[in-house]
Structure formats: C-alpha cells, structure tokens
Structure 1
C-alpha cells in the first residue's frame, strides 16, 4: 500500500473531488494534500522529538488533515473524541508523553493547563497551514515500515486507558485486504459512523482515501436526532456502509430505511460486536441488491482480520453467524489454557498471528508481555475472546475475562468499577453485563452505597450517573443501578460475580 502516493495522485487527477464531508463542511483531495503538507512542515520545525501528536475533536474534516500531517512529519497520531471526559484525556496525555495537541474545534479550559504542550485550536491550525502554504515535506520523514502510524487508547483493567500501537505496515496490510477482498471500487462514497478514536473508523477512512472516494460522516448529534439522521442518510448517496450492528439495528427500526431511501447502497461492512442473524435477515430484505459482510478483529490486530459474506444459505444454516476466515497474511488458532490448539468445534481462546498484530501497548511493557508473544517468529496476540472453528469458519462465543463489547465499544468492566468506587457515595460496586442471545444489551451496576440523604433510589442513581459522566465516556456508564447492603464473596476472597448475577435476576 502506498497511501501517501495514492492521496497525492487523487489530488492531481481529481483535485476538486470532495474527500470528506461532515455536517456541511467539506475538504477536497487537493485541500487535504496541500494542507497536510504545510502542517507537517510546521510540526517538523516546531517539535524536536518524535513524540506522538494528539488530535482532539469530533469528526471534523480538519482532523484527517492533522492525522496526515502528523505521519508526514514522522510522528504517530492519537485520535481523541471530544466526547471523552477530561480526566480520561489527561490520563492519555500523561501516558503518551505527547508534546503537541491539535484540535480542529476548541480545547476545554482545563486541558489548557498543560505547560509542556503546544496546543493549537482551529484558527491557529489554519494559520500554521497558511504560513507554510505550497511547501513540500520530504518523503524521507514520512512514517513507514514498523514505525507507529496511529495509537488508539482503549479501556484498561487498572482504570487507566492503554495505547494500542498500529504501525504503517499493520495499516498497509489491512487496507490492501479491504480493497482486494470486499469488492470496493474507486470513487465510491463511504459512511463514517464511528468516531476517529474508535478503530472501526479506520475501516472506512483509509480505504476511502486509498480509492479516491468520499467519506460521509454521521456525527453524534445526528445519531441523537432520528429526523436529522435519516435526512443525512438520504442525502449521502453512499455505496459502502461501515458500522456496528447496533447502529444499523437502530436504523432498521424505521421502515423508511431501505433501498428506496438509499438506492446506491452496494456493500455493508460490520465489525465491533456480534451481528445477529435476524438483523442481517432484515437488512437483506430492505436492501436486496447489497452485499453484507460480517468481520471480526480487536484493535490490537488492526480493526479486523476475518470476514464472510452473509448469504441466504449462511442465514438459513447458522442461527449464530460465523465471522468467517482470516485474511491471507494472518493465521488464527483457537487455544486451550495451556496454549495448545483445540479440536474443531471445541471452544478456546482466539489467538491471532501475523502481519496485522500490533507491536503492543505504548509505554507499557508489562501489559504487552501479558498479551503479545511470538509464535514461530510471527507476532501473535491473545485476544481474550472465546471462539471455535466449524466447517473452516471462525465463530465467536463471548469473552474469557471481564472485557466486553457494548454497541461496538470494547471496554473493561473493571475500569468502570474502579471509577464507580471513587465516588463519595459508593462503598463498593460490581458491573454486571446483561446479555440476550449472546449479545450484551446493557450494563447494570450493583452498588453498596454509603450513607446518603436521597429519599428515593432513582435520585441516588441520577446523582451517581452525573458524577460518572465526569470520569467515563457516556457509552461506559451503566444503564441500570441496583442497590444492595453487601457483595457476596467466593471462598478465595473474591467478589462472587456469578452469585451477584443470579441474585439480581440475570
């Protein structure tokens, strides 16, 4: 994959084609090429080290310019969505050692207190671009090979987020697979539903830019307003849909979501959580001429590593859909607790081996050694996902630990518990994931409260949720709260989660 050359080529061949369209704000291929070139020179001249660059915002087209400017200056970028709580952002700043913070929007006042950070907001970024207009960076500086291209911070069991390093080679392997195996074509229009801090966005962003397409973003404001959302989808003329199954399920609740509303739809790509059979069935009915792919992969293995086209035959044969076969430069094994491959049909931990696997967690050798290893001199990653292989296809069957996926977001239940226990009115707490048909529907907090003055439980719940919003992203806040006088323990002194789940009626 020659991503830099491809974008430059599109800027020359189709300079006025819109590369990114977000909420009425557009950037053409010429603009993202020229702007990223200019900004990369600014970064190279202002920054002496090679620390990663934080890019903070919510789906603004200028964020992509900042991504490309960072890697053209030889530095990885760290995408952070503006919806992330400030305390979590501060932890990422501290852990990453970043010296440059770029925001196409505005920067919260509390984050501006970092003296060691050079911070640029929208107008300052535009000034930096203008000051180096027409300048060409040296391609010798570009991130390449095994250098980090981006670092995405995911939930960590200690209460601290951990940075997954994805190299240029990792990304190249992924994009080459996307453009060769999924029938994607040049000049298509791609849906971008996931914020850039969620690695599902990589599935649409880079194949789109590689193929000279147009990225049509769906912001959180649109998702919160169905009328605006469907108006945007009608106007989008998209050909390639990338989202979590949960998002398309929300759209399917409205009968107008169909081929009539979106006549140019060709390909649906799903990742991030389990795709229910019934959801795929509804989609095939509404969009009979579109192809549906189910994929699987963790952030640590560059977005996704397996795929399967969901046909009528697959739907009829498998109530729980397979996630398919691995890409050609990846091997997948299902292993028992001793590291031995299990027999076909037997469940075990999914282990991913090959070019897609990350170098590990940024500045965290201990956690890296826990999950990453070499298998026959190939990088390998223990996913913690339970799976089995049947008829040559991989099937997912939940998690080995307390890490779950909810609405496409992967999170550590322990991280939520750590933050919940920090609250002044919480003595102790456990998070229980509520499942239906092998899919996590929502999170329940089982709380031992401290003495408080609230008369009703719903008042206490509202207070705790408000406090949690300062510490966690919205998608990690439990939907339901249950209050108990104490948490049961197992014989070895651990909280008895199974008993708790039974007692609260799960």
Structure 2
C-alpha cells in the first residue's frame, strides 16, 4: 500500500505542469494549482507544522472553505505525519468545541470563513489552542494567529519522510445518537485500497476533469481528492455558493467540461426536477456517480434518458467502511421505475454479508447488512464501547461492521438495499418499511423530492407514518391529490397519515435530507402553560 501524500508526489514527478486543483476559472479570478505547485505547497505546510510542534500521530484541525490551499493543508498535515480533522466552519461553536476536545489537535488551520467560529471556540474555553492562517489576513476578536500564510510560503519546499500506511490519515466526525459527535478513524491503507479499485473500475486518467462537490468533512470528498491526484487528473472544486441552484450547477458541469460528476442524490434530484439538463447535455461527461442515500428510480431514469452516452454507477457504504463498499453499474434505463436501484456487488477486497438472527440469510431473504474487508475502520476515536457495539465478529470469524441497513441478496449475488432497520416501524399492527412508502411517493408525477419518517405522536395506532414533499417547478400537487395517488400504489395501512408540503426539504451539512428535523416538524408544538 501507499501513503496518501505519495499519490500526489508521484503525479507531480510525472506531470509537474499539469493542473491539479481548480476553483472557479481563470476568467473570473479563480484559483488553480499545478501538481508541482501543490506538491511544493504541501511540503511547506508540513515543515511549518513540524516547526510548530506537530509530531507523528498528532491531530491537526482544519476549519476552512473548500479551496486549493485547504486541500494542500490536508495533504501537508499527512506529510508532517499528522492526522487531519476537517471541520465544517459553518457549524455552531459548541458542537465544534466537542469535536476539538475529543480530537485534541495540536494546532488549528483556518481561513477567513472560520473567524467567527474560532472566536466562539475561545469562548468555549479553548483559548490556548494555536491557530495558523491559510489565507491572510485572519483577524479575530478573541485570538491571534500563531503563523500566517506568509510564514508558510517562506518555508523550504523539499519534502519530509514520515509514517506508515497503517497510520491514521484523518478523523471524520459524524452525528452521534447521544448528541456527541463520533470520530471515525480512517487509515492511509483504507483509502488507497478504495482508490486502487476505483481507478481500475472507472478508468480515471490524466486529463480527466473530476468534480469536487461534497464538503471536506464528508467522506465522499476523500474519493474525489485522492483518486484524482493518483490519476494525475484535474479536481474542479465546486463552490459551496452554488448551493442547490440547479441551473448554476448544470452550468458548472457544462462550462468546466467535467468528465465525472459525483454527489449525493439530492443534487441530482434538484437538477432533474428543475429540468436543468438538456437532451444530450454535458458532451464531455463520461460517468455520473452517486452515494450517500437512495436516488429515486424515476430521477435516475430521467438522467439516463437525457444523457444516453453517460455511464451511471450507484456507490454504497458508510463512513465506517471508507467511502464505498459496493457498486452497481446501471446497465440501461430502468423498465420499472417503482423498483429501487440495487447497491450491487462488493468492491475489491470488501465483503457484504446479510445476516438473519446472526446467521447468513438465504437468497432473497431480508436481513441486516454487515460489511467486512479492507475498508473497515479501526473504530471510533477513543470510544471502545461504541466501537465494540458496531464492529463485531461475523459467523466465519471475520471482523464486520453493523450498518443498521436492511438488505437481501438475489440469485445473481447482487445486494438490494431495503431501508434502515430503524425505518422499519409498526403502525396499526403492521410492520412497514418506510423506504417502500418513499419509493411509491417518488413515482407520483409532480413530486420533486420527498422523505417519509415515522413519528410517535402518542396515538393508538403506534408510530405514525409522515411524509414531507416538495413539488416540481410549475406543478401543482395538493395533499388530497397526493394522498389519492399514493393510495393507488400502496395498501391503505401504508399510506402516510400526516403530510407536509414544503418549498424545500431540510438538508444536513452533507446535503442529505435531515430526517430528525423533519420528525420534529411533524410533532405538535407544546402547549403553553396557563
């Protein structure tokens, strides 16, 4: 295996003048770095960190917008032997403070987007934490920087040699059920194993133009960064300012002549519902990938009809198993748009196991999905109890991760995702998969996006099925019409009892539908005391 920073160095030696990173375009004041420039910048950052006391295994917090210099900060941390901890600089200070206290970074690297946040961290009692600036000037009310971008640029550009492939590369903090974020430990060899598979499977090559859409604290960005650098391709960083503006996002794909687009499904849904993609659009695009949640089959069919030359692949996998553990190359436009897309076959070195009562489920039987193999995390940072609960021993003695997802394996060995174990509810005496209800709702003409959640409203029927949806531009779909349409697709006991029509469904920081927020929207407001 190879350390992640070596992927950059090798490409810089092969093609020093090729473009590695691009934010925006030269005509509108964009930023770019060649492979030689990126390699030199990461070396300077590494030397700066070592000079400031970072030792192998130390954590470095990175609180900055998605720019070439921020990508350099991540890789520079690795070259110093450190472990980077990317943090959403738009998050509230109390949550970030919990992450910082858990990770105990030696230093924070930040840019101007994080100034208010770092001031807030000082208020949370972290005033002794050194802060380095990636973009001068960085001036806060409660802190001063320990070193500046100018100090970094004054360092020598020759590299350092540290570390092993089994070392931690980064900590990715995910939501915790107790309200305390969980730090998933990711090693160099876990990421390089996936990158090796992905390069071979997708055929990524020098000159490819790859999207960098997910935020840096989301594990999908790890694939974008390191697969691109390993291939000697160009990573086109998608500005967060695009948000969910369908037409601007489509223009970005078109204008940058991207050969690969990778994002969560909600982005694809917005582009489709706003009809932002023309027939045979994006002539340079070769492949379109998605991961993170279910892409409604009608949306996929829409894209495949619009872009018949493009290869479409569904990737599946939790953060704890590194980016993705399985893939499904969609062979043709789906015949039946009510059938969800499979999550497919294991990536090289991975295993997907469906267990029922601790034993392998028979073909076609529903069970809980577990993952094993080369992508498996060592566990949660400094939390052995949560690690032991999630990472268990399988029937054949293999260490496996409990995904909490329901699945079945068909006769061809293809795995089908059937929803979360916690999305299986009991309502009116029936056991119901909310994913099946969601699939039905998505097939109704005029639906732009939907989510179905179970909420305990204290009624006699048990958990109440609740559906929130938004309507495609120019369409009208009142609740009565929606209920009537869904009643024609599902048994009456599966039809949602509560409905919300929203202009836009709430999203979390990773762009996924925020189901906990939706559940709260369906709960009745507490009565004011007399």
- Summarize the alignment of residues 19-418 of structure 1 with structure 2, pairs less than 5 Å apart: 19-23=20-24, 24-49=30-55, 50-105=57-112, 106-108=114-116, 109-113=119-123, 114-121=126-133, 122-123=135-136, 124-137=147-160, 139=161, 141-142=162-163, 144-258=164-278, 260-312=280-332, 315=335, 319-336=339-356, 338-375=357-394, 376=396, 378-391=398-411, 392-401=413-422
Counterparts in 2 of 1:317 and 1:224: CA distance versus 1, 3 Å: closer
User: Residue 197 of structure 1 aligns to a residue in which SS?
Assistant: coil
User: Residue 364 of structure 2 aligns to a residue in which SS?
Assistant: coil
Residue 456 of structure 1: aligned partner: none
Structure 1: segments with no counterpart, 5+ residues? 405-431, 449-467, 487-506
- Summarize the alignment of residues 446-457 of structure 1 with structure 2, pairs less than 5 Å apart: none
- Residues 102 and 125 in structure 1, CA contact (< 8 A), matched pair in contact too: no
Query: How much is the aligned-residue C-alpha RMSD, in angstroms?
Result: 3.1
User: Residue 85 of structure 2 aligns to a residue in which SS?
Assistant: strand
- Residues 51 and 75 in structure 1, CA contact (< 8 A), matched pair in contact too: yes
CA displacement at 1:6 relative to structure 2: 3.4
Counterparts in 2 of 1:90 and 1:444: CA distance versus 1, 3 Å: farther
Count of matched residue positions in the alignment of Structure 1 and Structure 2: 436
Superposed CA offset, 1:319-378 (max 9, x none): 221111102311211112x31111111111101111110000001111000011344554
User: Residue 275 of structure 2 aligns to a residue in which SS?
Assistant: coil
Q: TM-score, normalised by structure 1?
A: 0.79
CA displacement at 1:136 relative to structure 2: 2.3
- Residues 307 and 324 in structure 1, CA contact (< 8 A), matched pair in contact too: yes
- Residues 104 and 125 in structure 1, CA contact (< 8 A), matched pair in contact too: no
User: Residue 156 of structure 2 aligns to a residue in which SS?
Assistant: coil
Point out which structure has higher relative CO (alpha carbons under 8 A, 6+ apart): 1
Structure 2: segments with no counterpart, 5+ residues? 25-29, 137-146, 426-433, 443-449, 459-505
Counterparts in 2 of 1:402 and 1:324: CA distance versus 1, 3 Å: closer
- Matches of 1:387 and 1:473 in 2, distance apart? 24
**Mean Cα deviation higher: 257-266 or 237-246:** 257-266
User: Residue 437 of structure 1 aligns to a residue in which SS?
Assistant: helix
Residue 16 of structure 1: aligned partner: 17
- Matches of 1:214 and 1:38 in 2, distance apart? 22
User: Residue 361 of structure 2 aligns to a residue in which SS?
Assistant: coil
**Mean Cα deviation higher: 385-394 or 20-29:** 20-29
